[in-house]
């Protein structure tokens, strides 16, 4: 009896831990937002702590990325468990990073031809939202996700939702669309961390053992 309760409790806690780890994380580059930086968006917004390889971050945001071409950030916080910390590198091509009053671009004039911003994460993620600025009617942003290029914009406007897979080490690249490309800025994007295969196996094993013990108890 006690063993069964213990196993079921462990299964419940494991499922809860997985649920917490699946919280959405939003990276925003708009200094005008109170949640400027990295934060968890499911339920009550909770700020995550940012650090960077190039030094301390005074305001826990991306301001120190300005005028750089590459930087590695680390996001930490209990809500990221068991994927805490989460590391990602931001790199620009065609010019230095620029963070203005509303978003992130290259060189201060949007993401133009031959310019790009790339992100590489140390864990696999599912991107659920892109938020751009300055994309008008019949204009597009070019986004390459794990080698597959898609255009976002036109009548859909600046915000786009979906489910886009990016494995650890693969690149997420915001570039210029050759046809009808807008000189757009990147304002934010949202993602969830994909559980590693070992996590799935552990959860499945605990739940299966709990089920077996429950069946044995009911058969007595």
CB 171 within 8 A of CB 119: yes
Tens digit of each residue's pLDDT (9 = 90 or more) over 31-77: 888 888 999 987 778 999 999 998 889 888 999 999 999 999 999 99
Sign, CA dihedral 133-141-67-58, equals positive
Quick check: 177 and 152 in contact, CB under 8 A? no
For 86-134, write each residue's pLDDT tens digit: 999 999 999 999 999 889 999 998 999 999 999 999 999 999 999 999 9
Q: Identify the CA nearest to 92 among candidates 109, 75, 74, 67.
A: 67
Which ranges of the chain does DSSP label H, i.e. alpha helix?
2-21, 197-219
**Which segments within the chain are labelled E, that is strand?**
25-28, 37-40, 46-47, 49-52, 70-76, 86-93, 97-99, 104-106, 116-121, 125-133, 140-145, 148-153, 159-166, 171-176, 185-193
- Return the CATH fold of 23-194: Jelly Rolls (2.60.120)
Confirm if 129 and 109 have CB atoms less than 8 A apart. Answer: no
Please state the domain extents for the chain: 1-22+196-220, 23-194
pLDDT band for position 219 (cuts 50, 70, 90): low
């Amino acid at each position: 009896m006690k063993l069964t309760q213990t196993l079921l409790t462990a299964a419940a806690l494991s499922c809860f831990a997985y649920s917490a780890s699946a919280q959405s994380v939003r990276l925003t580059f708009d200094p005008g937002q109170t949640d400027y930086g990295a934060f968890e968006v499911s339920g009550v917004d909770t700020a995550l702590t940012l650090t960077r390889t190039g030094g301390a971050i005074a305001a826990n945001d991306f301001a120190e990325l300005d005028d750089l071409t590459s930087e590695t950030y680390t996001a930490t916080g209990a809500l990221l468990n068991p994927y805490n910390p989460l590391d990602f590198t931001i790199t620009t091509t065609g010019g230095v990073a620029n963070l203005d009053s509303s978003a992130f671009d290259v060189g201060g004039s949007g993401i133009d031809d031959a310019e790009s911003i790339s992100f590489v994460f140390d864990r696999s993620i599912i991107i659920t939202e892109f938020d751009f600025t300055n994309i008008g009617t019949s204009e597009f942003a070019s986004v390459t996700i794990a080698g597959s290029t898609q255009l976002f914009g036109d009548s859909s406007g600046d915000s786009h939702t979906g489910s886009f897979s990016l494995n650890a080490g693969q690149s997420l690249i915001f570039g210029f669309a050759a046809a009808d490309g807008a000189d757009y800025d990147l304002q934010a994007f949202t993602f969830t961390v994909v559980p590693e295969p070992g996590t799935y196996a552990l959860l499945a094993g605990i739940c299966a053992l709990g089920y077996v013990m429950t069946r044995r108890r009911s058969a007595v």
